[in-house]
């Protein structure tokens, strides 16, 4: 008669050159299988419709002797009731996997989950230069959370309809944020299209939705008195926003380009700023000449240990919103204005000083048909001397205005240099 297995006996079993089985003398068909690797598994033989089958009870010692017998006996009861325990176990495992997949699907396309993945996997993903793929990622994250996650948290993105989106945009418009509604749609649409590419969504649910507000192209150009008001009001802003605002006036550069300026980009000895392509809006690097007034502002900035940024940090958009409001209130101009209007005013000012259009385009780092083919290789230094002359003339013009002197006569810069 086969002796009943004990824990001590099971522990003492050693692997052989081949697989072998040790029967338990207490439960019919129950065996402990020992593999050459030393792995031990409980198994039970049984018959269904005259066909011999094997039921895997589980691993030893995770399942001890007493527990293995209990499970084997329960399986015997099922066999007696014409239930195949192996088939039942397989079906239960399949059902569990299906349930897990459904549970994952139910959470992976929650609005808040998709927003988080979109930010981590795309917006904040570092490019080859080690910078976030989307420069304004903090602002994108703020808008998506404020306008959508806060209202749809817990809802599946696949259940959001076009009507839901249009209703949400209408609510934004009704609170008076008409342009913000356009931005919300743009950022939400960007996320949705990313989700389609990742097969989180099957289609673009924002397709065909029109902007809630029609935006007319801005044409605001500040006059000389207004430029003086902005320059003087900038002094009252907390650091470093006042310095940045004045550089925007002097250089006509974009806010995000100046705000995230790094020391390695500057050569104050030769008075140039090397704006790299990865930080330029149009992905085209450029060497920007610095007038003396700009150099003076940059020389006053304090280097912060551990930071590569000229202004300590890359000033986020939401902080600019608050400080722009301060600047607008301090200038008390009759007509409303935005920071980008300074760039337009810079271009208009260069034109008034007689700067040729192609030099203005180059100063703004605009893409145009003027430069093409092999000439594009020289874009970084394109019209550098002409641009330096134009920016120096513009800086002198501002200095005259601040000194209360009449505006510089509009003459050709080329003639003035001659």
If asked whether residues 75 and 190 sit together in one domain, one would say: no
If asked whether residues 117 and 249 sit together in one domain, one would say: no
Identify whether the C-beta of residue 166 lies closer than 8 Å to the C-beta of residue 178.
no
If asked whether residues 185 and 316 sit together in one domain, one would say: no
The neighbouring-strand residues paired with 47 are: 52
| Other C-beta atoms lying within 10 Å of the C-beta of residue 157 | 21
If asked whether residues 85 and 14 sit together in one domain, one would say: yes
Could you tell me if residue 176 is inside a domain? yes
Number of domains in the chain: 3
Q: Is 107 exposed, middle or buried (0-12, 13-18, 19+ CB in 10 A)?
A: exposed
Per-residue pLDDT of the chain (418 residues; tens, 9 = 90+): 578 889 999 999 999 999 999 999 888 889 999 999 999 999 999 988 778 889 999 999 999 999 999 999 999 999 888 888 888 888 888 888 887 777 776 678 899 999 999 999 999 887 776 777 777 788 899 999 999 999 999 999 999 999 999 999 999 999 988 889 999 999 999 999 999 999 999 999 999 999 998 876 678 899 999 999 999 999 999 889 999 999 999 999 999 899 999 999 999 999 999 999 888 887 888 999 999 999 999 999 999 888 899 998 766 655 677 788 889 888 988 888 988 899 999 999 999 999 999 999 999 988 654 444 444 444 556 789 999 999 999 999 999 999 987 655 443 333 333 3
- The residue among 130, 162, 197 that closes a domain is 197
Could you tell me if residue 31 is inside a domain? yes
If asked whether residues 345 and 412 sit together in one domain, one would say: yes
If asked whether residues 267 and 404 sit together in one domain, one would say: yes
Could you tell me if residue 211 is inside a domain? no
If asked whether residues 354 and 279 sit together in one domain, one would say: yes
Could you tell me if residue 1 is inside a domain? no
If asked whether residues 150 and 51 sit together in one domain, one would say: no
If asked whether residues 91 and 237 sit together in one domain, one would say: no
- The residue among 98, 128, 151 that closes a domain is 98
Q: What is the CATH number of the domain that holds 142?
A: 1.10.150
Could you tell me if residue 212 is inside a domain? no
Which among 203, 207, 148, 215 has a CA at the least distance from the CA of 179?
Answer: 215
- The residue among 34, 65, 98 that closes a domain is 98
Q: Is 353 exposed, middle or buried (0-12, 13-18, 19+ CB in 10 A)?
A: buried
If asked whether residues 259 and 340 sit together in one domain, one would say: yes
> pTM of the prediction?
0.55
Its domain, for residue 175, covers 111-197
Cα separation, 41 vs 31, whole angstroms = 8
Backbone angles phi and psi of 82, in degrees to 5: 65, 30
Backbone angles phi and psi of 110, in degrees to 5: -65, 145
Could you tell me if residue 139 is inside a domain? yes
Task: Give start and end residues of each alpha helix (H) in 218-336.
Answer: 224-234, 241-251, 255-259, 292-299, 317-331
Could you tell me if residue 219 is inside a domain? no
Which among 74, 60, 87 has a CA at the least distance from the CA of 29?
Answer: 74
């Amino acid at each position: 008669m086969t002796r009943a297995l004990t824990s001590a006996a099971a522990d003492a079993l050693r692997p052989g050159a081949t697989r072998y089985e040790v029967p338990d003398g207490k439960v019919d068909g129950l065996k402990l299988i020992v593999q050459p690797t030393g792995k031990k598994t409980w198994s039970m033989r049984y018959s269904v419709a005259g066909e011999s089958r094997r039921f895997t009870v589980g691993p030893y010692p995770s399942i001890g002797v007493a527990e293995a017998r209990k499970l084997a006996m329960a399986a015997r009861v099922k066999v007696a009731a014409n239930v195949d325990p192996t088939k039942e176990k397989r079906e239960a495992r399949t059902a569990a996997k299906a349930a897990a997949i459904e549970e994952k699907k139910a959470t992976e396309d929650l609005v808040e989950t998709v927003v988080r993945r979109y930010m981590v996997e795309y917006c904040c993903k570092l490019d080859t230069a080690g910078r976030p793929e989307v420069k304004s990622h903090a602002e994108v994250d703020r808008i998506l959370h404020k306008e959508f996650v806060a209202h749809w948290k817990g809802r599946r993105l696949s259940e959001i309809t076009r009507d839901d989106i249009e209703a949400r945009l209408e609510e934004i418009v009704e609170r008076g944020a008409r342009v913000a509604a356009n931005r919300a749609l743009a950022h939400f649409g960007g996320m949705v299209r990313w989700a389609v590419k990742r097969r989180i969504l099957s289609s673009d649910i924002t397709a065909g939705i029109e902007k809630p507000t029609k935006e007319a192209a801005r044409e605001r150009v500040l006059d000389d008195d207004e430029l003086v008001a902005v320059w003087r009001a900038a002094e009252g802003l907390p650091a470093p926003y006042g310095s940045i605002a004045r550089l925007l006036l002097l250089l006509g550069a974009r806010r995000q380009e100046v705000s995230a300026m790094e020391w390695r980009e500057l050569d104050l000895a030769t008075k140039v700023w090397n704006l790299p392509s990865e930080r330029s809006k149009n992905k085209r690097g450029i060497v920007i000449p610095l007038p003396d007034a700009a150099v003076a502002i940059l020389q006053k900035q304090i280097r912060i240990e551990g930071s590569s940024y000229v202004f300590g940090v890359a000033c986020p958009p939401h902080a600019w919103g608050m400080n722009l409001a301060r600047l607008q209130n301090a200038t008390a101009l009759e007509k409303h204005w935005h920071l980008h209007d300074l760039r337009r005013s810079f271009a208009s000012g260069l034109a008034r000083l007689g700067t040729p259009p192609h030099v203005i385009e180059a100063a703004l780092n605009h893409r145009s048909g003027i430069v093409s083919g092999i000439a594009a290789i020289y874009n970084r230094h394109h019209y550098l001397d002409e641009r330096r002359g134009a920016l120096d003339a513009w800086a002198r013009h501002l200095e005259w205005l601040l000194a209360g002197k009449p505006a510089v006569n509009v003459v050709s810069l080329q003639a003035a240099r001659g």
